């Protein structure tokens, strides 16, 4: 199989490329995100026809791999894990990420983790990635040109626009930077409504600063969300992240519902608690 990269840019590329995930990589939100994602992939694979190609997509992919620095939010996330409880040891995330970690460790992002998990299972797969960043485009290109498989298609554009043009993923991961926040909350809601109408499975990650936006998103999507809360919300919004959530639509929702006990253990491991937000 082959890899392709299309470096076309959209009108919003310059405005949205400034987001830098390097200081956040491996933080509590990343660990939650990646554990939920891999659990859903494993759930979907259980019902996937043998020999069929699994199609996975991301709207805002990032580079797929970053190095943990001497400082960073990873120290409160993956860096705070000295060991893994027996109940979580079989989880695919902890089969792919060795803990404890140290500065200089290469931390894999979402699509690289999914790619490795699918390859380890011997599953034929196609991965479709979008991101507006030229730096991300270059890094994905450098990775794919040296890989004989799997097929990775990269488009340098806002993945929200790509959803309408390319349906049919077995799982689509919506993971915008929420910068600018208002734009991404609105587009995430529109995307989940479209995916619900098409009957497609998806996960959508979001930050929690204040309950208003997650409530609007879950109501628009008519889907449950599985949240990690590590700090109480005050009476007024502020800029300190209080937690994060994973909205699960289509066949992705049963995968997280069945893993509720595991998610509770993971939330406790990360110094927080599990909250399940239901649409109103």
3-state secondary structure string across the chain: CCCEEECCCCCCHHHHCCCCCCCCCCCHHHHHHHHHHHHHHHHHHHCCCCCCCEEEEECCCCCCEEECCCCCHHHHCHHHCCCCCCCCCCCHHHHHCCCCCCCCCEEECHHHHHHHHHHHCCCCEEEEEECCCHHHHHHHHHHHCCCCCCEEEEECCCHHHHHHHCCCCCEEEECCCCCCHHHHHHHHHHHHHHHHHHCCCEEEEEEECCCHHHHHHHHHHCCCEEEEECCCCCCCCCCCCCEEEEEEECCHHHHHHHCHHHHHHHHHHCCCEEEEECCC
10's tokens: 């959209």
Instruction: Please say whether the beta carbons of 79 and 70 come within 8 A.
Output: no
The reply to whether CATH 3.40.50.150 applies to domain 4-8+39-64+110-277 is yes
- Residue 252 phi, psi dihedral angles, 5° rounding: -75, -30
Whether the CB-CB separation of 154 and 19 falls below 8 Å is answered with no
Domain regions of the chain by residue span: 4-8+39-64+110-277
Name the β-bridge partners of 204: 174, 247
Q: What's residue 211's pLDDT?
A: 84
Closest CA to 204 of 159, 152, 137: 159
Per-residue confidence (pLDDT) for residue 86, from 0 to 100: 93
Q: For tokens 């208002």, what's the residue?
A: 182
Q: Are strands 54-58 and 4-6 parallel, antiparallel or unpaired?
A: unpaired
Compute how many other C-beta atoms are within 10 angstroms of the C-beta atom of residue 258.
11
What spatial distance separates the first Cα and last Cα of the chain, rounded to whole Å?
A: 45
Residue 112 contacts residue 41 (beta carbons within 8 Å): no
pLDDT value at residue 183: 95
pLDDT in 10s for each residue of the chain, 280 residues: 334 444 333 333 333 334 456 788 999 999 999 999 999 999 999 999 999 999 999 999 999 999 999 999 999 999 999 999 999 999 999 999 999 999 999 999 999 999 999 999 999 999 999 999 999 999 999 998 877 666 899 999 999 999 999 999 999 999 999 998 999 999 999 999 999 999 999 999 999 998 889 999 999 999 999 999 999 988 787 889 999 999 999 999 999 999 999 999 999 999 999 999 999 9
* Whole-angstrom distance, CA of residue 5 vs CA of residue 68: 26
């Amino acid at each position: 199989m082959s890899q392709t990269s299309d470096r076309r840019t959209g009108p919003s590329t310059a405005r949205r490329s400034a987001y830098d995930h390097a200081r956040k990589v491996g933080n509590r939100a990343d660990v939650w995100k990646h554990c939920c994602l891999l659990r859903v992939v494993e759930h979907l694979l259980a019902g996937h026809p043998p020999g069929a190609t699994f199609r996975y997509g991301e709207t805002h992919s990032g580079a797929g791999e970053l190095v943990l620095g001497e400082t960073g939010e990873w120290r409160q996330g993956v860096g705070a894990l000295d060991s893994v409880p027996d109940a979580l040891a079989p989880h695919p995330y902890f089969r792919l990420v060795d803990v404890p970690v140290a500065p200089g460790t290469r931390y894999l992002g979402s699509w690289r983790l999914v790619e490795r998990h699918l390859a380890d299972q011997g599953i034929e797969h196609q991965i479709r990635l979008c991101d507006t960043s030229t730096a991300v485009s270059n890094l994905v290109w450098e990775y794919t040109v040296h890989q004989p498989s799997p097929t990775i298609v990269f488009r340098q554009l806002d993945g929200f626009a790509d959803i309408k043009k390319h349906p049919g993923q077995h799982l689509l991961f919506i993971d915008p930077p929420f910068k600018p926040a208002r734009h991404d909350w609105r587009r995430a809601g529109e995307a989940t409504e479209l995916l619900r109408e098409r009957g497609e499975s998806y996960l959508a990650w979001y930050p929690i600063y204040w309950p208003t936006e997650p409530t609007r998103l879950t109501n628009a999507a008519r889907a449950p969300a599985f949240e990690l809360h590590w700090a109480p919300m005050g009476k007024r919004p502020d800029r300190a992240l209080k937690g994060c959530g994973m909205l699960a639509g289509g066949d992705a929702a049963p995968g997280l519902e069945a893993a509720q006990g595991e998610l509770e253990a993971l939330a406790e491991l990360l110094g927080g608690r599990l909250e399940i937000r239901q649409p109103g």
